[in-house]
Amino acid sequence: MNTVSGYKISVIIVNYNVEFFLEQCLNSVRKALEHVSGEVFVVDNNSIDGSVEMVRRKFPEVHLIANKDNVGFSRANNQAIRTSKGEYVLLLNPDTVVEEDTFIKVIRFMDEHPDAGGLGVRMLDGKGKFLPESKRGLPTPMVAFSKIFGLSRLFPRSKYFGRYHLGYLSEFETHEIDILSGAFMLMRKETLDKVGLLDEAFFMYGEDIDLSYRIQKGGYKNYYFPETRIIHYKGESTKKSSVNYVFVFYRAMVIFAKKHFSQKNASIFSFLINLAIYFRASLAILSRFIKRITLPVIDLLLITGGMFAMTNYWKINGIEFPPEVITYSIPLYALTWMAGVLFSGGYDQPVKLKQFVTGILSGLIIILILYGLLPKSWQFSRLFILASATWTIGYFFLSRLYLHFAIGKRFSLTPTRNKRFVIVGKKDEFDRISRILKETGTKVELLEMVSPGDEKENGATGTINQLDQVVHIHNISEIIFSARDNTAGAIISWMSAIPSSKVDFKIAQPETMFLIGSNSIETAGDLYVLNINAISRQEKIRAKRIFDISLSILFLLASPILLLFYREKNNFLRNMVRILAGSKTFVGYYLGNNDSKQNLPRIRKGILTPIDGLPLNEPSIIDKMNLIYARDYAIRKDLSIVSKAWRHLDRY
């Protein structure tokens, strides 16, 4: 990066817990600044994932502002803008990748268009698809109404209903637009001096709309410039299913309306927005609830119905069921088997038939134990219980086979197919990336090398100009680009050219142990990193929670005796109640003063830690114990730690 005193551009990146994306972004920015005088600011909003340490270690030329609190997007950007020295200021998201000539092109355009106050570029998601938020219109009441109630989605190219994303304007042509995206927002410094910085009343979302509108009111124009492209992994579409996003984003719209519209229009806008908030939030919650509950409810009804039908078979043979069996026992049997299936992982993905067998057998054991405790008048027939269990197993097998063939996808019973990879890079990078795939436990069926240049290296299947043919002939499912050996422009071009419905894309940064990509616009981005996520798998989360509940109940029942062994008796009782309530767990990570340096899956705060009972004091070993605990988690680990350190369960 150029270090002269008179900068052409100041690049400002606000970061919050996205270390891997930030590193990739800074690498692309470093290349883009090789022929442009510029400076880079990273403002970190109190991340705990090691972002600050990574910037200091790998990008010493970057001006780092490490906040002690999350001060929000607007305030963080303003911190850097106030000290920046560039003729132009670029607000850039950390989850982006810019092309090598992006800065040259956008600065040239701004120099040639003195009326331009702000500029946005063509943004693509991690699959190479165009992101409609690259160009937006002013959210007037009618525009907001069309977006909120889905009219803009139904009629995206309508000049009347499609004005939020300006769908009637070509994505490949330069246009004057109203609103720039905060993911890539280039502005003249003199424009900001005139219209002011970002409004800090907007904590997150809406600040780009407000500033874009003020740029226009200041006598400047905003442009959409498609002659350069960036990758933006976390497109706006990734957030829409979040209830929190609905509240925060639309509340920001209310702030904008009250600030810029007349009182009458602002009142109308506020009414529409508040209506939309509850409409969209209710819709999101209801949709999520229905998706989760529909299949279990259908299963419960059909299992119960089948058991009631079986009683008719007994009646045909002259055997009458007691009314209490019909009224109470059958629904309780069905609920017990459903609970067994749920806790055994029968509703997890991917679907595994053995989980249903495990769950039903567990439920059967519980039913038979309870059956022996029932009054004689309720002990009707063990044969009926066994027949009902057989019916339930048969139902789950038949229903899942039907869903497998009728729907597939998340109901597929076929084991996950090993992936077929092609790595676009030189031989040394091919070997390095291959090791990453191996060490992260990725299932590889085929691994091909494609040379990044025009000449085919030894061992390569072809050159980058033949990439589409290699993908087609070898039925490739994922392409990994070496960022060292391929330009960002070439990567983005191939992502746009190859159908994303068939292939996923990843980018491997030099000298790192991670690969970044996005398998769809609905995901924030997928990483291949060292697998420390065993503890965050659904079955592990469920097992850990069952362990916590069972053991805390046992300890509470035994507390009259156990309290004799504890000095802080109230702490012990409070800890057991907190574990039972779900606010704590028996075993969590050892954080100490080093918690900001670890990329670990989130779990509840523990009373005990993996180092309890071990004579350790070396920080590097302590870090490794946390990593090993997350990577290899099993209930026996928690049991072992509790058995060794149970005397510390009164820890505050």
Task: Indicate the length of the chain as a whole number.
Answer: 652
pLDDT of residue 202: 67
Query: Does 67 share its domain with 200?
Result: yes
Task: Report how many domains make up the chain.
Answer: 4
CB 47 within 8 Å of CB 543: no
Q: Please count the other Cβ atoms lying within 10 Å of the Cβ belonging to residue 530.
A: 15
Query: Does 430 share its domain with 565?
Result: no
pLDDT tens profile 392-409: 999 999 999 999 888 877
Look at strands 221-232 and 175-177 and give their pairing.
antiparallel
Q: Strands (DSSP E) along 380-498, which ranges? A: 419-424, 444-451, 462-463, 478-482
Query: Does 48 share its domain with 180?
Result: yes
Query: Does 602 share its domain with 578?
Result: yes
Q: How far apart are CA 87 and CA 107, in angstroms?
A: 10
In a domain, 144, yes or no: no
Helix (H) or strand (E) holding 644: helix 635-645
pLDDT of residue 465: 93
Q: How far apart are CA 357 and CA 390, in angstroms?
A: 10
Give the residue from 19, 36, 43 showing the smallest Cα distance to 98.
36
Give the residue from 192, 185, 9, 187 showing the smallest Cα distance to 91.
185
Contacts of 362 (CB under 8 A, 6+ apart): 340, 343, 344
Is the pLDDT at 619 greater than 60? The verdict is no
Query: Does 423 share its domain with 399?
Result: no
Query: Does 544 share its domain with 450?
Result: no
The residue with tokens 């028996």 is 586
CB 22 within 8 Å of CB 94: yes
Percent residues over pLDDT 90 in the chain: 48
Query: Does 562 share its domain with 608?
Result: yes
The string of DSSP codes covering 143-200 is HHHHHHTTHHHHSTT-TTT-TTTTTTS-TTS-EEESB--TTEEEEEHHHHHHH-S--T
Query: Does 298 share its domain with 317?
Result: yes
Domain at 27, CATH number: 3.90.550.10
What mean pLDDT is reported for the chain?
Answer: 84
In a domain, 552, yes or no: yes
Question: Which one of 506, 528, 550 terminates a domain?
Answer: 528
> Distance of CA 9 to CAs 180, 181, 214, 269, Å?
18, 18, 21, 37
CB 289 within 8 Å of CB 373: no
Q: How far apart are CA 336 and CA 560, in angstroms?
A: 32
Taking the CA atoms of residue 474, residue 478, residue 482 and residue 487 in that order, the dihedral angle to the nearest 10 degrees is 90
Query: Does 371 share its domain with 428?
Result: no
Domain of residue 644: give its range: 534-648
480 three-class SS: strand
Question: Which one of 371, 388, 411 terminates a domain?
Answer: 411
pLDDT of residue 329: 82
pLDDT of residue 626: 78
pLDDT of residue 288: 77
Summarize the confidence of residues 260-281 as an average pLDDT: 68
Query: Does 177 share its domain with 70?
Result: yes
The residue with tokens 């019973």 is 413
In a domain, 279, yes or no: no
Question: Which one of 528, 561, 583 terminates a domain?
Answer: 528
pLDDT of residue 261: 66
Q: What is the DSSP letter of 329?
A: I
pLDDT tens profile 178-236: 999 989 999 999 999 999 998 887 656 678 888 999 999 999 999 999 999 999 987 44
Summarize the confidence of residues 565-575 as an average pLDDT: 93
In a domain, 256, yes or no: no
Residue 221 burial by Cβ neighbours in a 10 Å radius (0-12, 13-18, 19+) = middle
Higher pLDDT, 623 or 414: 414
Query: pLDDT confidence of 338, banded at 50, 70, 90?
Result: very high
pLDDT tens profile 490-529: 999 999 888 777 788 999 998 887 788 864 333 434 545 5
Taking the CA atoms of residue 146, residue 149, residue 152 and residue 155 in that order, the dihedral angle to the nearest 10 degrees is -110
Q: Please count the other Cβ atoms lying within 10 Å of the Cβ belonging to residue 515.
A: 26
Query: Does 220 share its domain with 91?
Result: yes
Query: Does 387 share its domain with 427?
Result: no
Tell me the whole-structure pTM to 2 decimals.
0.70
Which amino acid would we find at residue 40?
V
